[in-house]
Amino acid sequence: MTTEVEAPNNVLSARIADDLRRAILSGELAPGERIRQEELAEQFGASRIPVREALRILVTDGLVNMVANSGAWVSSLTQEECSEHYKIRERLEPLLLSYSLPNLTEEDLEEISSLVEQMKNLDDIETFMFLDRQFHWATYAKANTATLSDFIERLWNTTQPYRRVFTRMVRSGGIEITHLEHELLVEAIKRRDSEEAERILHGHIRRTRIELDRHPEVFEHQFDTGK
């Protein structure tokens, strides 16, 4: 049974986790940046208990790395690790889409089409990334899976900072390819052509991986994560 003391801590832990998650995914906190628990406790007027619980939540999400007797850092990847994460995504996200596609309703199709239109002609990268994430997860929303969605979401979280760099790179030329791939994906989904939709999605993710593989400098200026 939850006690009166525990309930406020649980609520506070969730609030701290939500705030940190937003800061990490938006790029406000960079890969490898130290997270100081005492500063968080002071910021939220909390004890160390809800702060530690919030960090444990974010470790599960793939957003934070905790080192025993050392501290907590925003998760970071080497170029090799990031490439591996993308290769896993290339293979598993089409599978997740195949589970979802037959269950998507007309309302779902309208939503994903609207998100594609909203992403066009955007100058703000953060808004683009937010809508892009909404778009892809809207296509996965009706997948009835026990573990696959959670696993893939963790991979999205760990690769988010590097996807941001990729998005900045393609803004200078080539963003039209991203829009075209989105449109082709939507059309395949509307036709309920799972094989074609999976093929397009695989290539869409693979293109990002290949581009990041060509830019080792993306991974050279990260903080010390205490590993």
Q: Does domain 6-74 have CATH number 1.10.10.10?
A: yes
Per-residue pLDDT at 62: 94
Tell me the CATH number for domain 79-219: 1.20.120.530
Split at pLDDT 50, 70, 90, the class of 8 is low
Residues of the chain with CATH 1.10.10.10: 6-74
For every residue of the chain, DSSP letters joined together read ---TTHHHHHHHHHHHHHHHHHHHHTTSS-TT-EE-HHHHHHHHT--HHHHHHHHHHHHHHTSEEEETTTEEEE----HHHHHHHHHHHHHHHHHHHHHHGGG--HHHHHHHHHHHHHHTT---HHHHHHHHHHHHHHHHTT---SSHHHHHHHHHHHHHHHHHHHHHHHHTTTHHHHHHHHHHHHHHHHTT-HHHHHHHHHHHHHHHHHHHHT-GGGGSS------
Per-residue pLDDT at 131: 96
Percent of the chain with pLDDT over 90: 73
Average pLDDT for residues 109-114, to the nearest whole number?
Answer: 98
pLDDT digits (tens, 9 = 90+) for 58-107: 999 999 999 887 899 999 999 999 999 999 999 999 999 999 999 999 99
Residues of the chain with CATH 1.20.120.530: 79-219
- Whether the predicted pLDDT of 194 surpasses 60: yes
Percent of the chain with pLDDT over 70: 91
Per-residue pLDDT at 186: 98
223 or 162, higher pLDDT: 162
pLDDT digits (tens, 9 = 90+) for 173-190: 668 899 999 999 999 999
